[in-house]
Copies of this chain bind each other. A is one copy, B any other.
Amino acid sequence: MNAISGISDNAYGYLAPNTIAPAGKLYIQDITLRDGLHAMQRRYTLEQVRQIAKALDKAKVDAIEISRGDGLSGSSFHSGFGDHTDWDWIAAAASVVKHARLSALLVPGIGTVHDLKRAHDMGVSSVRIATHCTEADVTKQHIEYARHLDMDVSGLLMMSHMTSPEALAQQAKLMEEYGAHCVYVADSCGMMTMNDVAARSIAYAQILKPETRFGIYAQHQLSLGVANSITAVQHGATRVDLSLAGVGAGAGNTPMEVFIAAADTYGYQHNINLSDLIVAAETLVRPWQNRVLYLDQNSLNAGSNGLHADFSHTAKEAAHNHGIDSHSILSELGRRQIIGGQIDMVTDVALELSKRSNQQVENNSTMSK
């Protein structure tokens, strides 16, 4: 009998034994209140933050991340300002959380060590320093400073599909050398297969110290989020990024309650109360979701062009504003290999394409005279 879910181990009939189990318990990292903001268009109220943080804490989630989708100080004209500051949100969560560790995301170039210090002073004891998969060197001062503050610190390599497994592992190694306790594979586009996750997990295992932890962030774009997270766990990952009801950009993140139910069928150990999670997803998150999460043509175009799903929404808006189609914008952004922080490029590209298209019309009109 699994003590957590109340499900008998034999209830499913004749299922395969768990071939590769992680050593010890999984560390469940909630990202509902951070990455989930993408899906709610950054419009959580403080009361919602308190309610969700309290429910996550009750369900015994190990860490709860609070900051904008783009991390601390990640508000801008392009990515939106939100109704409250990071500090308001952190204070709201800190006021209710008793068990879980509070964590924050920090993207160097968007957030600074000053933001980190302030978050730490407010009770944030864990930080994830995130950067593009080939840019680990920009995380050095932030990881070192987090260690100086005696925080738990992870390095997160976004868009991990854009470099080879071996090159990615080299970047993770740099983060380990800077002092990261944990390094992540982040499938920011949700276009990775189980093979892709396995290849990167194996590359990590070959190069990292045994004591360095390995984490997985998998988007649910191709509805492989749960499967990819399980695959990472089968290859040594112990930290898993999850959000209630899968709330997140595009087709969403790996849904926490579903991952935990799957983890139970695999017999993985964790601290979570599954029923509490299901209630939280159904009563606190789904009623506030402003859209159903599924694979649509826009998010598929974004992913297949190697772009974060957040670009799909922004490209749709820009396409509407400038009278061109969003598919062309996404193709052009993909051609330029735009990365996460460069979301202001969407408007630039839309303007350029619109200008080019008008020019074309003018030329045609001149020629026909």
Contacts and interface: CB of A to CB of B under 8 A. Distances in A.
A137 interface: no
Interface in A303-345: 303-306, 334
Interface residues on A, range: 35 or more
A306 B13 contact: yes
A334 B304 CA distance: 43
A334 B8 CA distance: 11
A194 B230 contact: yes
Nearest to A12: B191
Contacts of A17: 195
A18 interface: yes
Contacts of A194: 194, 227, 230
A250 interface: no
B196 A15 contact: yes
A286 to B, nearest CB: 8
A305 B11 contact: yes
Nearest to A282: B296
28 contacts: A5-B304, A12-B189, A12-B191, A12-B303, A12-B306, A13-B159, A13-B162, A14-B161, A15-B161, A15-B191, A15-B195, A16-B165, A16-B193, A16-B195, A17-B195, A194-B194, A194-B230, A220-B223, A223-B223, A223-B226, A223-B227, A223-B255, A227-B227, A257-B295, A258-B294, A261-B300, A282-B296, A292-B292
Given A223-B262, A227-B227, A255-B294, 16 more contacts: A11-B334, A12-B192, A13-B159, A13-B161, A13-B163, A15-B191, A15-B193, A192-B265, A193-B265, A220-B223, A222-B262, A223-B227, A258-B295, A261-B300, A275-B297, A278-B295
